[in-house]
Amino acid sequence: MTAPDRSRWGGIAFTFGVVIFLLSRFRHLAGVPEAALWLLIPVGFALWIVGLTAFRARYRPSTNAMGRRGLDLAVAGIVLLAVGHLGLLLHLMGPQVVRHLTGAAFVPVGLGTLLLTVGALLFGLDALRGEVLPRLPALPLVTGLLGLAWMIFANDSRPVEGNPEAFMTMRTLFGLGWLGIALVFTTDQARRPETARRRSEAGDRTTADA
């Protein structure tokens, strides 16, 4: 598989991974049973990891040190989020003996969210300064700010002790930001062959005029 093919499939995986992540939070609206989380959580995060890794490989050469560091932190963050969510799933729905072993699963979730947020902020700041993304260059920065707001509001909006609606709203907005980034990446892969063809034709015309 060539590098463009890997990027194209990575963009598709990225998009579906974030979509599954978002839909898993609204499964009750579609009547999806809670047991489906055993499939949705692992599949969604696996696709997100694959997609974000492809995103990092695609745009890392175009960024400066700050942007590269942001991409690295984002990939590390999504891996920690995946581990933490699987731990929470085992803690909430697993056998009693497993629940005692996964009581600290919130730690990788919190750390993963922090790294994913900081990663989006750093990459977003770099994307504003140069032509890194083909469109919506402010989107990663906005997504990082949404993640920062989510972490701040989460202190007073925990699902159990506080206001679950506020918590889930901020969480969903953060996820929608990442969905937007995934769609930008996916459409970039879809338009790259056409862009290359146009540039080639433009070059041919320039050569002919000369």
Radius of gyration of the chain (CA): 19
The closest alpha carbon to 105, from 92, 93, 88, 127, belongs to: 88
The gap from C-alpha 65 to its chain's centroid, in whole angstroms, comes to: 20
Q: Is the pLDDT of residue 130 over 50?
A: yes
Note whether residue 198 is domain-resident. no
What is the mean predicted confidence (pLDDT) over 165-175? 82
- Per the domain annotation, does 24 fall within a domain? yes
| Max CA distance (Å), the chain | 77
Q: Is residue 206 part of a domain?
A: no
Res 129: pLDDT: 79
**Average pLDDT of 95-123?**
78
- Domain range for 143 is 3-189
Query: With bands split at pLDDT 50, 70 and 90, how would you rate the model's confidence at 101?
Result: low
Within-domain flag for 105: yes
Is the confidence at residue 107, as pLDDT, over 70? yes
* 196 inside domain: no
Closest CA to 169 of 141, 140, 149, 145: 149
| pTM beyond 0.85, yes or no | no
Does 85 reside within a domain?
yes
d(CA 162, CA 17): 28
pLDDT in tens, 71-89: 999 999 999 999 888 877 7
Domain count along the chain: 1
Helices 106-129, 164-209: crossing angle, 10 deg rounding: 30
Segment 18-55, tens digit of pLDDT: 998 888 777 655 566 667 777 788 899 999 999 999 99
Residue at 143 is within a domain: yes
Closest CA to 71 of 85, 53, 87: 53
Nearest to 56 by CA among 6, 113, 92, 111: 6
Decide if 195 is inside a domain: no
